[in-house]
Structure formats: C-alpha cells, structure tokens
Structure 1
Amino acid sequence: MRKLEVLAWLVGLLGFGLLVSGVMLVSVPAGLIVAGLLLMFWSWLADRAAAQPQARHGPINAQAGGDHVP
C-alpha cells in the first residue's frame, strides 16, 4: 500500500469515529443506527472494489503489434 492509501484509510476511520461520536452525543440509538449504516456502506464499497479486475501495468505486448495488454 502506498502512503496516500494508508493516510486516506486512517482519515476515513477517524471521520467515521467522529461522526458516530457526534451523533451519539445527541442520541445513543441514532448513533448506533448511523454506525450500522456507515459500516454497511463501507462493506458495499469494499465488495465493489474487490469485484473489479486489477489493472495490469505490464510491458507492451509485442505479439499483438504493440497493443497494450488490458
């Protein structure tokens, strides 16, 4: 993982915690609902990211006349 990816993950985790904490200051049940919804959204995003094929950054395919391998 690159530093930017790790930093983005940590900032997202901090934002999640602050948002849930702020809502829980108003109402504990609402905070738990917000936490559940955000975790389901995170799970959906992770599932979508895992389902996408990984981009290959390999060399140019010489057999196909110089076309880049997808």
Structure 2
Amino acid sequence: MKLLLLAWLTGLLGFALLVAGVALIYPPAAFIVAGVGLLAWSRLADKAAAATARQPKGG
C-alpha cells in the first residue's frame, strides 16, 4: 500500500515538475502539456476502472 501511494505521489511530482519546466520556457505550452497529460491520465484511469469492472467477483 505504501509503495502504491509513493508511486502515485512520485508520478504527480514528476508531472508538476515537467509542467513547471515547460512554463519557464514558454507559458502557453505548459497549458498544452498539462492538458495532454491530464487527458492521458484520465484515459489510463478509465482503462483501469474498466479492467477491474470486468473481473469476476469471488473467483
């Protein structure tokens, strides 16, 4: 459980640092990078939710 939380927080920190770095170069590009990243994250979360919903309950 701790490893899962640590992986999630590390990913969030990495994404934030990526957006901040892009914002230092060109601020409008940071919004594009953030939007694409959030779209990718929501697609990944949707796939994970669909995969857990398809698994049979009770073995």
- Class of the TM-score when normalised by the shorter of the 2 chains: 0.7 to 0.9
TM superposition score normalised by structure 1: 0.74
Q: Superposition RMSD on alpha carbons, in Å?
A: 1.6
State the aligned residue count: 57
Q: Which protein has greater RCO, CA pairs closer than 8 Å, 6+ apart?
A: 2
Unaligned runs of 5+ in 1: 59-68
TM superposition score normalised by structure 2: 0.87
Identity of aligned residues (%): 58
Highest Rg: 1 or 2? 1
Q: Which residue of 2 aligns with 1:37?
A: 36
Deviating 4+ runs (over 2 angstroms): 53-56
Q: Using the TM superposition, give the Cα deviation of residue 53 of structure 1 relative to its aligned residue in structure 2, in angstroms.
A: 2.7
Unaligned runs of 5+ in 2: none
Name whichever structure is richer in helix by fraction.
2
